[in-house]
Amino acid sequence: MLNRALYKNIARTNSDKHMTLAFVDYEDGKVTLSGQHEEVLIIRANGDVERIDTVELGFPVGLEADIAPFVQTEVLNFGPDDVLLLHTDGVTEAENPDGVLYGFDRMCACAKANAGKPAKAIIEAILAEVKAHIDTQKMFDDITLVVMKHR
């Protein structure tokens, strides 16, 4: 229903705007992801890092009248002290004054270095790094982070 409403309004206003939508559900030690998003990062309690490609999990909302055929799900193990991180491309594509992107690897390293902290502290650490990286450069995109930590 949301997609149909957005699709009609985008067509009516002749806009090139759209959005992605991701659903995350946790139950019994498993996380179910649905919807397209940037790569999802999982930092396991033992320090292992997993990059989850979500391109097959959905379709940007508002580009097609019916997205049902495009939407899929993926179920991942999510155990105690694991960290799940979702982000918008505004984080990884944040540029410094020389045009260098912050990047996924830098975000991943910061998240891993702070994985022992609460979710809010992981977000704060990444945001502090991104702000330091962009320095005086103007932000060109939204910066959104969602961090879930299994207790």
Q: Where are the beta strands (DSSP E) in the chain?
A: 23-27, 30-34, 40-43, 49-52, 73-77, 83-87, 145-149
Least confident range of 5-19, 68-82, 98-112, 117-131 = 5-19
Residue 40 forms beta bridges with which residues? Answer: 52
| Structural domains in the chain, sorted by start | 2-149 (3.60.40.10)
pLDDT tens-digit readout, 84-119? 999 988 899 999 999 999 999 999 999 999 999 999
User: How far from each other are the two terminal CA atoms of the chain, in whole angstroms?
Assistant: 34
Does residue 92 contact residue 104 with C-beta atoms inside 8 Å?
yes
CA 91 to CA 99: how far, in whole Å? Answer: 14
